[in-house]
Structure 1
Amino acid sequence: MNLLRNPVLTIVVALAFAASPASAQEEMDEADIIESRPADDIDSLLAELADPDLRTWEATEARIIELWSRSGSATADLLLERGMNALEAEDYLTAVEHLTALTDHAPDFAEGWHARATAFYLQEEFGLAVRDLQRALVLNPRHFGALTGLGIVLEELGDYELALRALELAEDLNPHRATVTDGIARLKARIGESTL
């Protein structure tokens, strides 16, 4: 089965996610709202995030990502932390090493595959990035970051229609990121131009 042809799985790395700063008071209020919820209430958090009028979307998004980043294993969490630190330091080879150890140790942990896809993308290893994003989406089909990443990589590869579908699915889950909205508009214009 070609996973890219499954509409649920065509959901890409949130490389362009850069939250706009909120005031310190807003951040405290948002954190209090989110922290008061049960830790395992991911369904209600995702439903809340899908509301395009949500004012506290940044805190809701951060809480979802935090929950998705918990593997339940101290070893896996340490490998993810080391991989992310290497990514931030732009040491992509080391990041891939740590994140490969993570995917070997915890193959059912979607965030490990998503993080390694980011490292592959930054090394311009687009095929490897797509493969890891597919795996992340098999494990967590509602991973809006993986869908966003998939859209970005597919656009790089010239598959504009699938890239558009991935970004549209990401926007359904999280309609608050301008990079996703802008990507959808850009791809629609590009597809429209190619059909003229």
Structure 2
Amino acid sequence: MIAQLLYRNFVLAACAAASLLASTGGGLAQGSGQAPATEPEIALMDALADAEPVEARRIVRELGMIWSRSGSPTMDLLLRQGKDALEAGDLPAAVGHLSALIDHAPDFAEGWHLRAQAFFQQEELGLALSDLENAVALNPRNFQAVYGMALILEQTGRVEAAFAGYSAILAIYPAHEEALAGRDRLARGLGGSDI
């Protein structure tokens, strides 16, 4: 199936991006290992490739629920507290809850991903990018974390890497509006078009 091939290529590209960023000064979580994809995850990722925008948003919500399950009620509580603080705009509290989560569950990718969002909102781009590297190393299927990396790469002038990130996302999730806008914006600047 073409969608599954695209998905596998995306996972390989995301892992390569995380490794490349780590080799240039980032730090991947020590002792971390990728959690294998579950059958529901794979089916949702395959469906995402052909989904219309409304259906794609439903699939993204389902994937988000899967990725937000740590397997521990305590870790899930810390994640919920971090999310709530992030949504309330209490960024120091969000960083605190999510840092506690990461300290206790360093192999739980979503803790890194959410803390990156808090750092990004604090305009701590280096810290955000470092956390996104860890999130992608632990869960290379999380195209939202890859999107965050591409956005930061664009903002810090690494346009070709950002373009590659946006393009990789669109290969598996063509309805990702922000990645499409980013790719198109950068394609004009790079003197070409990927449309």
Please confirm whether the aligned pair reaches a TM-score higher than 0.5, indicating the same fold. Answer: yes
- TM value normalised by structure 1: 0.77
Q: CA separation in 1, counterparts of 2:54 and 2:80? A: 29
Q: Is the 8 A contact 1:83 1:96 kept in 2?
A: yes
The CA deviation at 1:53 is 4.5
Q: Which residue of 2 aligns with 1:155?
A: 154
Q: Which residue of 2 aligns with 1:17?
A: none
> Unpaired segments of 5 or more residues in structure 1?
1-5, 12-38
Q: Is the 8 A contact 1:142 1:173 kept in 2?
A: no
Name the structure, 1 or 2, with higher relative contact order (CA <8 Å, separation 6+): 1
Q: CA separation in 2, counterparts of 1:143 and 1:173? A: 11
Amino acid at match of 1:103: I
Amino acid at match of 1:78: L
- The more displaced of 170-179 and 137-146 is 170-179
Q: CA separation in 1, counterparts of 2:189 and 2:122? A: 26
Q: Is the 8 A contact 1:71 1:109 kept in 2?
A: yes
Q: CA separation in 2, counterparts of 1:182 and 1:191? A: 14
* Cα distance change of structure 1 residues 82 and 186 upon mapping to structure 2, 3 Å threshold: same
Q: Which residue of 2 aligns with 1:181?
A: 180
Q: Which residue of 2 aligns with 1:28?
A: none
The CA deviation at 1:8 is 2.5
> Unpaired segments of 5 or more residues in structure 2?
1-11, 19-37
Q: Which residue of 2 aligns with 1:49?
A: 48
Q: Is the 8 A contact 1:117 1:133 kept in 2?
A: yes
Amino acid at match of 2:186: L
* Cα distance change of structure 1 residues 54 and 88 upon mapping to structure 2, 3 Å threshold: closer
Deviation string, structure 1 residues 77-129 (Cα, Å, up to 9, x no partner)? 11111111111111111110101011111111111100000001001110111
Q: Is the 8 A contact 1:120 1:128 kept in 2?
A: yes
The structure that is helix-richer by fraction is 2
The CA deviation at 1:71 is 0.5
Amino acid at match of 1:8: A
Q: CA separation in 2, counterparts of 1:137 and 1:68? A: 12
Q: Which residue of 2 aligns with 1:32?
A: none
Q: CA separation in 2, counterparts of 1:163 and 1:54? A: 23
Describe the SS at the equivalent of 2:147: helix
Show structure 1 runs of 4+ deviating over 2 A.
6-11, 52-55
Describe the SS at the equivalent of 1:51: coil
- The more displaced of 80-89 and 171-180 is 171-180
- Superposed CA RMSD in Å reads 1.9
Aligned length in residues: 161
Describe the SS at the equivalent of 2:191: helix
